[in-house]
Structure 1
Amino acid sequence: MLFFDYILPFALAALSVVDAAPVNKAPAGIQVVPNGYIVVMKARTSPEKFERHRKWVGNMRKNRKGIKAPKALRSFQFNSGWKGYSGVFDSETLSQIANDEDVDYIEEDGIVTANSLITQTGAPWGLARVSSRTPGAKNYIYDSTAGQGVTAYIIDTGIETSHRDFGGRAKWGTNTVDSQNTDCHGHGTHVAGTVAGTTYGVAKKANLIAVKVLNCQGSGSNSVVIQGMQWALNHATQNGITKKAVVNMSLGGGYSQATNQAAAAIVKAGIFLAVAAGNDAADASKYSPASEVTACTIGASNSSDLIASFSNRGKLVDVFAPGVNIQSTYIGGGTKSMSGTSMASPHAAGLGAYLIGLEGISGNAVCERMKALSSAVVRGVPSGTTKKLIYNGVK
């Protein structure tokens, strides 16, 4: 019976073509069992036929060479009728399994780890505030996923990628402004540290990519910035990580329709974009990319939950984040305290990476989730400006 049940269908392939079952890859960034797969059967498959199928697969594995496989398949059958098995298979065996008409789908066997909350004691006040509902907290509490598998593009003055606080997770991407492929200013390194530094970062396991668009004096033209934005979007698209990426833009100038359209293109692709509201205590609608409605525009607050005196405001500000006296990484392997909405935005970008890794959301949904988690606690804001302060949702 075994021969006729599982060999005859292949002999009749010329008469009846059966679509192969799909083989689903694990999500980007997820570790998998080498050559390990879960095979799920169609609901119509009887227990008896399922058992014959398993024996057929077991016999195939015994005859394969060049791959070490466990002695037995791991099977599962639920009362609802849902059934399947897992094992280690070479490509030829996997192909034959996929072509069996009783197989519904196959997926890579991903690695699952226990999630836990980690407490960073004596954390910088900005980090501690992200995980606390009230001011004055001293510890930063976060989920152990910590943005793992998420890539953060830092569109700024570059990143000192060798800084030890990045732990080898920072890479150079591109330079659209000058010939010095390093952060010769310090602003970008500080921002990157708040996004994903081991000590100073919100998303401590996220990867960082430097997109240099500002020179050693911290300036660049809109066209140079747009070129960097295009590079980040293209890189994320070509590498298939748009749903696992964030972009931080701690920069800005006067209103620019072109810059705003470039920002909108990034968001449309499914990338979370955090932008600084600006430091002129004015309405954010006068600045770009802060005025792009699809971007997540971040205002700055201080350790007492007051709006920072310099922070831009208005209806286009989505949320506030810590932005006064923020300690983070700096060029020369050091650290520095800086203030500005440039320091607030990377707290939100880091939280975006954190939420993407933890909850699997992406794009504009990240900003909406951030607003849903936040509390309306920022004081001193003018009418028409949100009072919401970012929070990572730990219980």
Structure 2
Amino acid sequence: MGHGRGSGTRWAVTIGVVALGLSACGPVEDPAAGGAGTAPPSATAAPGGTPASPGPGGPSGTAAPTTGPGSPLPSGPGAPAPVVRTGVPWHLDRLDQRNRPLDGKFTARSDGAGVNVYVIDSGVDLGHAEFGGRAKQGADFIGAPDAGDCLDGLGVGHGTFVAGIIAGRTTGVAPKATIVRVQAIACEEGGASGPATATGTATGTATGTATGTGTATGTVSGAARGSATGPARGIANGPASLRGPGTKGVPPLSRAKDVPPGPGAPDPAAEAALVKAADWVTAHARRPAVVNMSLNLAYRSAAVDAAVQRMTDAGIPTVVAAGNFNDDACGHSPVGVRGAIVVAAATTADRHWSDSAAFGSGYGRCVDLYAPGEKITSALAGGGTTELEGAATSWATPHATGVAALYLARNPSATPAQVRTWLTQQAVPGVLSGVPPQTPDRLLHTGGL
């Protein structure tokens, strides 16, 4: 598959939602070893999880940032010169402008260098060109060790796409941050866990196949919509449709009918893997660090909430998705954890995303801010980039994580509370439409970083 938007034949398919399970692969290298806070069981002692070898890293601590929370960063003598990136996707362009029209540029003084971003997800294609060697092995908590992504049946790696939004060379908010792969979500059935070269094929009913090496286990790391093949419990934050480079000669397809999520029955295995992943990060994170959790359970889990709380209490900012259930985000873990940064999804028109009564962004008092979540361009597992036509809070969340990385690069000792305060105070108020009651009308902004 080619690189960039519009390369090759473009195609649209849908991704189904199935029951949540967790899958993991073994670590090779760890920029994450060493850390502070409480020391929960390491991945070495956890079945299916193995920590990586120590790597270099920065200091830990909780000193106040060089600029106070909510304060603009200096732009006079001594401040880094701004770097202007042109021809960027609309969602990057939106982050550095308080008002429209967009100018096709993304300008920032910070690039996230020196910040470790822990992506708790389906895996990451570590060798992808968008990461340029900056994606490192962390730990895996289900399945056989590998260094790739957990591909769904259509060859879309959820974690790779998320990581590309955070730190991709051309698609990312913080293009010099380091990605640390923490695999804790299993594949959709028919997927592959491994460094596969994903090629998509599609038929008139929006089905597809992915080829690669590895094993296929468990459940979805992606969509809340599409053709469901099982009860919709667990993680459900991916999009309903994919638009991007596909197999030559395959025509675009219409989107499949939405399928509502199921009742959200507890999934102990899924919860256990998430708990192990969060505790591993707590024990091994190397500062400055931030965690991305583009995932959302269909119910509340005391165990998952407690594990995420341990991360924030240990001084690690944690950014989580508001969920795709089009309901009160407070009803889904890990939303609601004290100190976590909760992100809802906005459309290309700066509107609260809601496709139907069953599918849309989570909302309510537990949400901190919105970020772009529709028609997002990022890294495709196996190589190249692609644009996802559908909206998802999974794609909104890493935008906020990327801006947090920009901030931490300039303020490496900032606490989770300081990062959260800075993000919410720099966010642009009053520019969104269709915002549900008791939900903050705030759109993510880089605040001059």
- TM-score computed with the length of structure 1 as normaliser: 0.68
Q: Deviations over 1:13-32 (max 9, x none)?
A: xxxxxxxxxxxxxx9659xx
Q: Deviations over 1:26-83 (max 9, x none)?
A: x9659xxxxxxxxxxxxxxxxxxxxxxxxxxxxxxxxxxxxxxxxxxxxxxxxxxxxx
Inter-partner Cα distance in structure 2 for 1:135 and 1:175 = 42
Q: Does the Cα contact within 8 Å between 2:347 and 2:374 map onto a contact in 1?
A: yes
Match of 1:332 in 2: 382
- What is the SS of the residue equivalent to 1:355? helix
Inter-partner Cα distance in structure 1 for 2:426 and 2:109 = 19
Match of 1:319 in 2: 369
Inter-partner Cα distance in structure 1 for 2:136 and 2:420 = 26
Are positions 1:171 and 2:139 aligned together?
no
Inter-partner Cα distance in structure 2 for 1:173 and 1:119 = 32
Letter in 1 for 2:423: M
Match of 1:258 in 2: 303
Match of 1:271 in 2: 316
Match of 1:105 in 2: none
Match of 2:237 in 1: none
Q: How does 1:1-395 map to 2 (within 5 A)?
A: 29=58, 115-181=80-146, 182-185=148-151, 186-217=157-188, 218-219=220-221, 221-236=270-285, 239=286, 241=287, 244-253=288-297, 254-309=299-354, 310-338=360-388, 339-360=391-412, 361-376=414-429, 377-394=431-448
Q: Flag the 1:294–1:336 CA change in 2: closer, same or farther, 3 A.
A: same
Inter-partner Cα distance in structure 2 for 1:134 and 1:154 = 30
Match of 1:81 in 2: none
Deviates more, 1:215-224 or 1:148-157: 215-224
Q: Does the Cα contact within 8 Å between 1:300 and 1:321 map onto a contact in 2?
A: yes
Q: Does the Cα contact within 8 Å between 2:125 and 2:160 map onto a contact in 1?
A: yes
- What is the SS of the residue equivalent to 2:382? helix
Query: Percent identity at matched positions?
Result: 37
Q: Does the Cα contact within 8 Å between 1:256 and 1:288 map onto a contact in 2?
A: yes
Note the C-alpha offset of 1:180: 4.7
Q: Flag the 1:227–1:28 CA change in 2: closer, same or farther, 3 A.
A: closer
Which structure has more relative contact order (CA 8 Å, sep 6+)? It is 2
Inter-partner Cα distance in structure 1 for 2:311 and 2:109 = 28
Q: Does the Cα contact within 8 Å between 1:135 and 1:303 map onto a contact in 2?
A: no
Q: Deviations over 1:166-206 (max 9, x none)?
A: 01100111110211522032000000001111111111111
Count of aligned pairs: 283
Q: Which runs of 4+ in 1 moved over 4 A?
A: 27-30
- What is the SS of the residue equivalent to 1:316? coil
Letter in 1 for 2:289: A
Q: Flag the 1:114–1:296 CA change in 2: closer, same or farther, 3 A.
A: closer
Inter-partner Cα distance in structure 1 for 2:305 and 2:104 = 37
Q: Does the Cα contact within 8 Å between 2:343 and 2:369 map onto a contact in 1?
A: yes
Q: Deviations over 1:349-368 (max 9, x none)?
A: 01001011123423121111
Q: Does the Cα contact within 8 Å between 1:115 and 1:143 map onto a contact in 2?
A: no
Note the C-alpha offset of 1:139: 3.1
Inter-partner Cα distance in structure 1 for 2:104 and 2:311 = 34
Structure 2 residue ranges without an equivalent (≥5): 1-55, 60-77, 152-156, 189-219, 222-268, 355-359
Q: Please identify which structure carries the higher helix content.
A: 1
Q: Does the Cα contact within 8 Å between 1:130 and 1:140 map onto a contact in 2?
A: no
- What is the SS of the residue equivalent to 1:312? coil
Inter-partner Cα distance in structure 2 for 1:299 and 1:386 = 10
Q: Does the Cα contact within 8 Å between 2:339 and 2:416 map onto a contact in 1?
A: no
Inter-partner Cα distance in structure 1 for 2:58 and 2:308 = 26
Inter-partner Cα distance in structure 2 for 1:227 and 1:136 = 44
Structure 1 residue ranges without an equivalent (≥5): 1-26, 31-112
Q: Does the Cα contact within 8 Å between 2:339 and 2:420 map onto a contact in 1?
A: no
Q: Flag the 1:252–1:117 CA change in 2: closer, same or farther, 3 A.
A: same
Q: Flag the 1:274–1:324 CA change in 2: closer, same or farther, 3 A.
A: same
Q: Deviations over 1:127-155 (max 9, x none)?
A: 11111112441434333431111100000
Letter in 2 for 1:373: Q
Letter in 2 for 1:262: A
Q: Does the Cα contact within 8 Å between 2:428 and 2:444 map onto a contact in 1?
A: yes
Letter in 2 for 1:370: L
Q: Deviations over 1:212-239 (max 9, x none)?
A: 0012213570111111111111111xx4
Inter-partner Cα distance in structure 1 for 2:304 and 2:271 = 7
- What is the SS of the residue equivalent to 2:182? strand
